Amino acid sequence: MVPGLPIASAVLAKYKGEGDAKATLRPYTPINDENEPGYVELLVKQYPGGPMSTHIHNLQPGQTLDIKGPLPKYAWAENKHDHIGLIAGGTGITPMFQLARGIFQNANDKTKVTMVFGNVSKEDILLKKELEELENTYPQRFRAFYVLDKAPEEWRGSTGFISKELLKTVLPEPKSENIKIFVCGPPGLMKAISGNKVSPQDQGELSGALQELGYNKDQVYKF
């Protein structure tokens, strides 16, 4: 049996520890190949004091985790957009990777994808091997740009935070027809790039770098 999760969807994990007054709920985006049966793969970064991430990292083979889903995020359909931009920070890469891989696994989907991925250090870049594989396999349709806050001397990519100048250079232009920009990352990145969501059901107003570059609310989706 395959997981049955559509592109751009998540699952909700639930954990209630001993003595907890209420359960902890966290959404996660599976990163496994949807066509491979038998399992769901989650990429979970452990945070000090994080009840859910600590619980998941402490699980042993044979133990279980309560999850439910799918939780649809963005209603993707093949060739829905001609060109999409993916702006991610840290673990915000997971829905972007799921979306990009889903596009390229569909031979009928010709969408072009440009990704900008920000991290603190080179070691923090998640799914680097998988992203490079996509870039090597689809060089005309997928490009990834990496930004490091603390870059080593030999680093040839962008440094600091994801800048408005970089986005202007690499993303599909706001005046282009049928484009979409997706954003996912920690609150600081969201605030700087697009503004944060009000709630899972309310995208909120568009602000930050994307608004300053001329994109409108309908051209941007916040995971």
Tell me if 88 sits within 8 A of 117, measured CB to CB. Answer: yes
Angle between helices 128-137 and 93-105 (to 10 degrees): 30
Would you list which residues are annotated within the binding site?
Answer: 26-28, 43, 45, 52-53, 94
Binding residues for FAD: 26-28, 43, 45, 52-53, 94
The rounded distance, in Å, linking the Cα atoms of 209 and 41 is: 33
Picking from 112, 117, 121, the residue whose alpha carbon sits closest to that of residue 184 is 117
Q: By C-alpha distance, which of 186, 120, 126, 118 is closest to 152?
A: 120
104, two tokens: 């390229």
Distance CA(154)–CA(23), nearest Å, equals: 45
